[in-house]
A = this chain, B = another copy of it.
């Protein structure tokens, strides 16, 4: 296909998405839930087809020499397909955010105003190799009344097609508006650029994947983008910390699942407790296989490699930890605001007032007092499901659930009010 053909096909898809979105916005919760329930059943019934398509992707991936970790992200089996279907049913059970009256008030001239949650409209999801995103993202968006255009990576194209076709066939049989969920049928790079230029038809793009993908979308998109960049998360052990708790939290935040965005990358320790805390904490972290890199003062207390300036701004996603001793909480806050990624940070302290100051002064989406940063997560927050963790400050910040997939509208009622 020529770039012009791709552009024109994407534009047709985007226009159809708008039409579908206007219909979706008028559905009752029960209608959306019936569609989603049918989708879960349809996906289960299509397990064989989905696994067959997935085998084609895996074979192609092996022939291309994809890394084992990539192949693992790509791989589906009966249990994983069942998990995707069960995920749809979990979304059915969540409350529908659409139609909620957020606020209501009246004005001296007698106008009554309501601010009401409505769907955003049309959402483009651009993602890489995990085929479960095809269902997870489309289903959450649909529950919030939005139409989606899904553009997955080439590695998973057969799996994505099989999943999308199972969902749409089952959905349409349950009266889903046509084109409410559309998968871009090709994976040329040009299709990303084309989606980024559809600001008339697409209300937002959510990229899910590596930095390269997000950079491309951010630089090209003419519509809002909700992105999820790095998680360079910190734990600060205060002078007034319970050091046993601090060790447990630090070990959890670093090692419980090191490859995720809410894992700790840097440990900051107040100088008043460093000599007591660091040897014990380092021993526990090393037991778990963590490589330590410290500032000069840290290295005066425990034996470890020197941390470079680069370490303070690195998301290791691995069993590596940088450690810095600070003179004060202000120095810790300054370090976090300067070097962090504004994602999630923790203070361990027994002093409530100190904790209050830290939580308010740290410019991050999620701030924790005596709780591991690993809880920065839509499920853990009680949102039921999440579409990602936004590092934006506008619209949605931090874990994004169904509510973050909505907009609002002002509805004003009167009896003939005129301005003149």
Contacts and interface: CB of A to CB of B under 8 A. Distances in A.
Interface of A: 22, 25-26, 105, 107, 111, 113, 118, 120-121, 199, 203-204, 218-219, 222, 224-226, 242, 245, 248-249, 251-253, 255-257, 337, 355, 359-361, 363-372, 374-376, 380-382, 392-395, 397-399, 407-420
A100 B371 CA distance: 23
Nearest to A220: B219
B366 A412 contact: yes
A376 B364 CA distance: 34
Contact of A249 (B199, B399, B408, B418): B418
A369 B411 CA distance: 8
Contact of A409 (B120, B256, B367): B367
Nearest to A21: B363
B113 A394 contact: no
Contact of A107 (B224, B382, B407): B382
A389 to B, nearest CB: 11
B414 A374 contact: no
Contacts of A419: 252, 256-257, 372, 374-375, 380
A407 B393 contact: yes
15 contacts: A107-B381, A111-B371, A204-B394, A218-B222, A242-B416, A248-B416, A248-B418, A366-B409, A369-B411, A369-B412, A370-B414, A394-B395, A395-B395, A397-B408, A399-B410
B398 A256 contact: no
A417 B408 CA distance: 35
Contacts of A410: 365-367, 376, 381, 398-399
Nearest to A417: B371
A394 B120 contact: yes
A107 B25 CA distance: 31
Nearest to A393: B407
Contacts of A245: 415-416
Contacts of A369: 411-414
Contacts of A113: 381-382
Contact of A368 (B25, B248, B367, B412): B412
A420 B252 contact: yes
Contacts of A408: 397
Contacts of A360: 25-26, 118
A393 B412 CA distance: 18
Nearest to A199: B218
B121 A394 contact: no
Given A371-B414, A410-B367, A417-B370, A382 B248 contact: no
A28 B22 CA distance: 44
Given A107-B381, A410-B398, A370 B22 contact: no
Nearest to A355: B413
B409 A203 contact: no
Nearest to A399: B410
Contacts of A412: 366-369, 371, 375
A214 B416 CA distance: 35
Contacts of A414: 368-371
A103 to B, nearest CB: 10
A394 B252 contact: no
B372 A417 contact: yes
Given A249-B416, A414-B371, A419-B375, A409 B397 contact: yes
Given A121-B363, A410-B366, A219 B222 contact: yes
